[in-house]
Amino acid sequence: MKKSEYCEFIAALHTFKGPSGMKRLSRSGAKEFYEEIRELLFYDCYHETFETEAMSSLLEKAEDHFKGFECTAQSGTCGLFPEFLGKLPKIKELLDSDVEAIYQGDPACYSPLEVVLAYPGFIAISAHRIAHALLELGYGFAARVISEYAHSRTGIDIHPGAAIGGSFFIDHGTGIVIGETAVIGRGVKIYQGVTLGALSLKEGRKLTGKKRHPTIEDGVTIYSGASIFGGDTVIGEGSVIGSSAFITQSVPPHSTVRTKPYDLEIKSR
Same domain, 27 and 146: yes
* 264 assigned to some structural domain: no
As a whole number, mean pLDDT of residues 146-162 equals 97
Domain that holds residue 181: 162-258
Instruction: Give the residue from 131, 155, 179 where a domain finishes.
Output: 155
* Domain-located, residue 10: no
Query: In which band, very low, low, confident or very high, does the pLDDT at 17 lie, cut at 50, 70 and 90?
Result: low
In this predicted structure, the answer to whether residue 249 has a pLDDT above a threshold of 80 is yes
- The residue out of 94, 120, 155 marking a domain boundary is 155
Q: Are residues 67 and 86 in the same domain?
A: yes
Structure confidence at residue 205 (pLDDT):
80
Q: Which residues pair with 195 in a beta bridge?
A: 177, 227
Q: What is the C-alpha to C-alpha distance for residues 254 and 236, in angstroms, rounded to an integer?
A: 7
Residue 55, domain member (yes or no): yes
Q: In what order do the strands lie in the sheet with 195-197?
A: 157-158, 177-178, 195-197, 227-229, 246-247
What pLDDT is recorded for position 53? 92
CATH number at residue 83: 1.10.3130.10
Mark whether 148 and 209 lie in a shared domain. no
> Which domain CATH number covers 183?
2.160.10.10
Q: In whole angstroms, give the CA distance from residue 204 to residue 191.
A: 29
Q: Do both 122 and 230 map to the same domain?
A: no
**Helix (H), strand (E) at residue 171:** strand 169-171
74 and 150 assigned to the same domain: yes
Q: Which helix (H) or strand (E) holds 125?
A: helix 120-136
Measured distance CA(110)–CA(101) in Å, rounded: 13
Tell me: the pLDDT tens digits for 160-210?
A: 999 999 999 999 999 999 999 999 999 999 999 999 999 876 777 877 878
Neighbours of 213 (CB within 10 A): 26
In which element (H, E) is residue 247 found? strand 246-247
pLDDT band at 37 (very low <50, low <70, confident <90, very high): very high
Strands 189-191 and 169-171: parallel
* pLDDT at residue 13, rounded to an integer: 63
Number of domains in the chain: 2
Counting every residue written for the chain, the total comes to 269
Helix (H, G, I), strand (E, B) or coil at 257: strand
* pTM, 2 dp: 0.89
In a domain, 6, yes or no: no
Quote the pLDDT of residue 24.
Answer: 57
53 and 120 share one domain: yes
Same domain, 38 and 144: yes
> Do 30 and 135 belong together in one domain?
yes
End-to-end CA distance of the chain: 63
